[in-house]
Structure 1
Amino acid sequence: MKKRILFLLFLVMPALILSGCAPVVGDKDIPENFSIYASFLPAYMLSDLIVTEDIPGMNLNLLIQPQDGCMRNYVLSDWDQYIAVNCDAVILIGNGFESFEQGLMNLGEEGPSVISASSSLILDASYQTDNEESHLYGANPWLFLSASGGLQLTEAIAANMIALDPDYESVYIGNLKSAYEKFESLSESILEVKSAVDYQKRTALLHEGLIYIANDFALNVVTRIDRESGEYPDETSLSQMLKTLEESNAEVVLIEKQAPKSLLEALRATGYEIALIDTLSAGGAQNGAEAYFERMLENARAIENAFKK
């Protein structure tokens, strides 16, 4: 198969896809068995909405196994590299979410087709730093933690799959229509949760991706702390973190579900209410599209419970 790098040709209006328009990337010769690997679980969950069993020979797989640490820091193992280089296409969140994105793109014709789903989407850039080693450097690629962001990424994946495999355009469009219904249902459920509680308590974010769900709830964010996901801070870092939280007068802390127990205990001992947010890093390929909606709703309820107290 002639392989090319697929940059996102984002459809500005959803109706553009639904009217049958699709980005053009050149002729493609799709083999009988076409293997697609989604980078991490979030990319897999959203791809599972579009790349379904209705498409003969199209096999969607999860490239990277569940992670306790930050997905953005993950370095491909030799086995991961072998799979990625030899498959037909790789679906990425993009925009720096995968540290290996540029390496795959540099393979050019010798590598897989690369779909970088967020490459033309508007990402949060409200918290910037000049430190290139920081998690907050550059645009924030955790768009999938917002229901609306998840929909945008799903639209992008659908557009690219239509370009890659135009023979099954009608199937991809049908799958996208079904996805719209599921996202609408999720949005309605989240709206019910939002209407039940006053969310104006002063809020601190201890994970870069949580700005998206905070924006969904219009939370009163007073501070955002850059830290390594899943790791307990050393004594100096913990002291600085608690000082920053105290100075911000934060009442509620949003932090990833995989945060160390000892860190959570330190935060609770200081008097903060905590909302544990699932950043979709845990779980294997059995966690497909349906799990995305279930876990996003659980996140909404976790925020509700923290603000009720």
Structure 2
Amino acid sequence: MITLLADGHEEKIEGLVVPHGATILGWERKPHGWCSGDACIPSFRAAAAETEDGVDLLRFAGLLGRPAVADTDEGVLAIGEPTGLALDRAPEFGPLPGLRGTKVAVVFWASWCGCRYDLPAWETLHRELGGYGFSVVSVSLDRDPEAAGEWLADLTHPAVVDADGRIAELYNVINVPTVVWIDEEGRIARPQDTMTATDTFRSMNGLSSEQATAALRRWVIDGEAGTTSRELRASTDDERLARLHARLAAWLFRGDRRVAAERHLAEAAALAPHDLAIRRGLMPLGGVDPFGEQYFELRDELEAEGIAIYRPLPDWQEDSL
């Protein structure tokens, strides 16, 4: 048996070759090809994944433009999101579809980041600007939902925990705090930016919450996003594969398979050394203090290689450093 990790779900399948007649990742075989809604892969293309015994799942994922990483020794397969998604549209998750017609700030944070202390300030902005058609949606990147729980108790804005890293994958989030602005039509108004709602850690990150929240208010009230960049910054192929290795590592850590988990974590770090959402985010599952010595060693490593911890620098912060 193989455990399949895909689309935010976990399920058991018989193997990497799926029997004929089964639905695969929401796609069904029809006389003219594989179809999902109005989208179809014609039979002549689908033949590349079909065998006498069934459908090769890895090849089929490739036909869908979805990266995949398998560990057959550990019996697990992770399939990522399709490549080539529209970068000017906000990928949907959780509460987002129900907020169409509202401006949204998607706030990525984690309990292993000092930005957890910003959540009350984001809640205040949510309440203050709600009458203008605005909502905060906070997304915790904690791999352990219980770690995020204590910080969510008094919040009224929509909040989710991205334990499998799928939302971070969709939005190409490599560190926290990261914020994305989405307009009423579900389009990107401002892509992934480092943004704080308080100055608690300004001495470390050099970021002005006053300038950032003033810019947010201008956008909500006056519609001025203050940027010409209206597309999410796309992930590279290596970043996509790194996130799948991280997904396998998290699953393996939870199953107490530490050696295999650390192998996939090392692979993820090699593919995307700059991705702190992976490297620091998995520390708690591996029994490592994300505020301890290993984290500061990681910071030193990245700084020595010229990799910025907080990036990209929002334009409203340029005069504050």
* TM-score in terms of structure 2 length: 0.27
Taking CA–CA contacts closer than 8 Å with sequence separation of 6 or more, which of the two structures ends up with the larger relative contact order?
1
* TM-score in terms of structure 1 length: 0.28
More strand by share: 2
More helix by share: 1
